[in-house]
Amino acid sequence: MTAPFPTPKTDESQRLLSPEELEAALRDIGARRYHNLHPFHRLLHDGKLNKDQVRAWALNRYYYQAMIPVKDAAVLARMEDASLRRVWRQRIVDHDGDAPGDGGIERWLKLAEGVGFRRDYVESTQGILSATRFSVDAYVHFVKERSLLEAIASSLTEMFSPTIISERVAGMLKNYDFITKDTLAYFDKRLTQAPRDAEFAIDYVKQHATTPELQRQAMAALTFKCNVLWTQLDALYFSYVAPGMTPPDAWTPGTGLVPEVAQAAGTGTIRSGDVPRLPRGVRLRHDEVRGQHVLLAPERTFDLDANAVAVLSLVDGQRSVRDIAVKLAETFTADPDVIEVDVLAMLNDLATKRVLER
């Protein structure tokens, strides 16, 4: 039985691989260890994560995105060849942009905002998992401390990213109604940027890893980087999927969100697709003494007319507003679109009074 994550052989006597063999060996590392294989990513792509779990991912991953230019600047600082620097500096431009509101970090912030976060909360990184911070910081330290060859080889995960990105975009758009094409704009750019960057890096590694020892170092560097990515998903899984052990200071659902989103936990405008429900403490009751239906709520009673009773009897926490309108339209042989307008007006009035939620 082979270990799932073997470390590269340390045998000094291994033979020198041809450049093509080296590339194949590097690609093999990705095929076995890249984070598209991680259970958390499978859940993400298959639409199995709930909105808060997607939020946790977007929030934590921001720290990785934000530190990429710091990492690339550290790599750049070690390059003594101007032609190398001219190529590498493009990575920083891609991420930071040429002006405020531009670049990969900005597009990631848009993604985080798209799932409901406040920008300042995301930028503060105060809610990220320690494991995220440790992993990303380890990556930055790695490129500072190791050889330039290892620093460049560690970036080679980009060889594998186009696969994960297309899977991710298609899966998320299909499975999450809160994700739009605009939210995922970050990945559009990366689809063209990553192969260009990876091509340069693999050429560099193939050209400069000229001894078995250097080839081993390049493979170890890529393995390290795969682990940087994998560990971040381990931590997300542990904290937000199972067993759900969130560290004391890490983000918890409901915090860091823009006010409208924070409210959306039950309040706010009710729309056609929403499923309304009567929360605990609000009850529809027939009042035998007065011979009418009433809605009992905190410190008040609503007298209900026949229409209101017809609507509220269908509010069961299962049916959407649309379902209710269609059902009423059948009963009263009327146009569901016309009925829906009235139903929405009534339900929103009750929602404003805090006796109906969604």
Other C-beta atoms within 10 Å of 73: how many? 16
**DSSP state for residue 6 in the 8-state scheme:** P
Selected binder of another protein within 20, 120, 298, 318 (CB under 8 A): 298
**Angle in degrees, CA 80, 82, 84, rounded to 5:** 85
Q: How many residues bind another protein (CB under 8 A)?
A: 23
SS3 80: coil
Identify the residue whose tokens are 């848009």: 110
Selected binder of another protein within 281, 317, 331, 332 (CB under 8 A): 281
- Cα-based distances in Å from 329 to 189, 276, 325: 48, 18, 6
Residues 301-320, mask of contacts with another protein (x by CB under 8 A): x-------------------
Selected binder of another protein within 299, 305, 306, 333 (CB under 8 A): 299
**Angle in degrees, CA 116, 257, 105, rounded to 5:** 60
Report the residue number, 50 or 269, with the smaller CB distance to another protein.
Answer: 269
**Residue 290 makes contact with another protein by CB under 8 A:** yes
Selected binder of another protein within 25, 93, 138, 296 (CB under 8 A): 296
**Residue 289 makes contact with another protein by CB under 8 A:** yes
**DSSP state for residue 66 in the 8-state scheme:** H
Smallest gap from Cβ 93 to another protein, in A, equals 42
Selected binder of another protein within 273, 279, 317, 335 (CB under 8 A): 279
Residues 238-277, mask of contacts with another protein (x by CB under 8 A): -------------------------x---xxx--------
Report the residue number, 20 or 299, with the smaller CB distance to another protein.
Answer: 299
**Residue ranges of the alpha helices (H) in the chain?**
19-33, 39-45, 51-77, 82-96, 104-114, 119-124, 130-145, 148-153, 161-175, 185-208, 212-236, 259-263, 306-314, 321-332, 336-352
Selected binder of another protein within 42, 110, 319, 353 (CB under 8 A): 353
Smallest gap from Cβ 272 to another protein, in A, equals 18
How far, in whole angstroms, is CA 165 from its chain's centroid?
12
**Residue 283 makes contact with another protein by CB under 8 A:** yes
Bridge partners (DSSP) listed for residue 295? 284, 302
Chain residues binding another protein by CB under 8 A are 263, 267-269, 279-283, 285, 287-290, 294, 296, 298-299, 301, 351-354
